[in-house]
Structure 1
Amino acid sequence: MTQRVIPDDFPREQPLGAVTGAQSKLLVRLIDGQYYAALTEDERWGRYDICEDLAQQLAGYAARKMTEHDWLLDDVLRRVETSVNKKVSTRSWEFSPAEVAWTMKRTRELLSSPASGDGGEG
């Protein structure tokens, strides 16, 4: 089995939720007999895996657009981030603001690395 490693800079957010009433409440979930206020390690791995996959796809897309349109890295990343935020705001995609920020940072890293493929430099 492959060791699953989540980068230290990947967000460690609490799941969002709301409960009505005047008294303060602690949101927890019961999973296999244990209460969790945060994501489980498996859930966090799933979130990381989705964000990493999206970053890989965005890097490939951005690299193609940079070649096709002769766009600069910052220009293409700005356009890509705008598109991602639109998908999130229309609830087509479910990412937190911290996950979007991490994904865009990771996309930039992939495009800026010497082994980013496509023979071009970022």
Structure 2
Amino acid sequence: MSEPSNSRPRELHPDFPNEPIIAAVGGAQLKLALCRGDDGMYRSPRRSPEEVMHRFEVADDLADQLVTYFKRKKSEYPGWTAEKNFERIRLALINKASEGKWPFTDAEQAWIMCRLRERSVERELPIFSASQIRITPRRTPEDIKRAKEEGRFAEMTPGQSGYDDNKN
């Protein structure tokens, strides 16, 4: 896995996983790997803040690249559902991580897939141009009365409806 492609500063996402490091110590007797904190308490060892940030940047960059890949596959194979594309990407991610090509834990892989889903859905929202926006005509008191009788909207003042007696 390469370094992140863009040089923009990133903030650590609050949902990015930071799991304890599983440690094994050789020998006949059972041993437990712990780190002593500033408060004197013993805890499971964890990655340094710098290492967590580096892992986040690489994972976030991969999520960006996978969004582009997802969109390309979506246009190449319009018959495939979004779920099929997500599943193919998830399996490829698991494969590369299990082969040791990508250094992501299971929790980081799940986070990458969540980010991919968020960003893919986010980018599929329709974009409106000014030509698509139309101005609705002002409502008269008769329009408001008719709409109330038909139960089409809640109470509204004439000013809120676009008709103001003071302006006429």
Secondary structure of 2:123 counterpart: coil
1:14 aligns with 2:14: no
1:73 aligns with 2:70: no
For residues 45-102 of structure 1, give each alpha carbon's deviation from its aligned partner in whole angstroms, at most 9, with x where no partner exists.
0010010001001111011001110122111010001011111111111110000000
What's 2:122 paired with?
A: 113
Tell me the distance in 1 between the aligned counterparts of 2:101 and 2:10: 28
Tell me the distance in 2 between the aligned counterparts of 1:83 and 1:18: 29
Which runs of structure 2 are paired with 1:1-122 in the superposition (5 Å)?
4-21=10-27, 22-27=29-34, 37-70=45-78, 71-114=80-123
Indicate how the Cα distance of structure 1 residues 84 and 24 shifts in structure 2: closer, same or farther if over 3 A, else same.
same
Indicate how the Cα distance of structure 1 residues 92 and 114 shifts in structure 2: closer, same or farther if over 3 A, else same.
closer
For residues 14-68 of structure 1, give each alpha carbon's deviation from its aligned partner in whole angstroms, at most 9, with x where no partner exists.
233321232322155xxxxxxx921111111001001000100111101100111
Indicate how the Cα distance of structure 1 residues 115 and 77 shifts in structure 2: closer, same or farther if over 3 A, else same.
closer
Secondary structure of 1:49 counterpart: helix
How many residues are paired up?
108
Structure 1 unaligned regions, length at least 5: 29-35, 117-122
Secondary structure of 1:15 counterpart: coil
CA RMSD of aligned residues (A): 2.1
TM-score normalised to the size of structure 1?
Answer: 0.79
TM-score normalised to the size of structure 2?
Answer: 0.58
Indicate how the Cα distance of structure 1 residues 11 and 62 shifts in structure 2: closer, same or farther if over 3 A, else same.
same
Bigger helix share: 1
Tell me the distance in 1 between the aligned counterparts of 2:58 and 2:10: 13
Structure 2 unaligned regions, length at least 5: 1-7, 36-43, 126-168
Q: In terms of Rg, which structure is larger?
A: 2
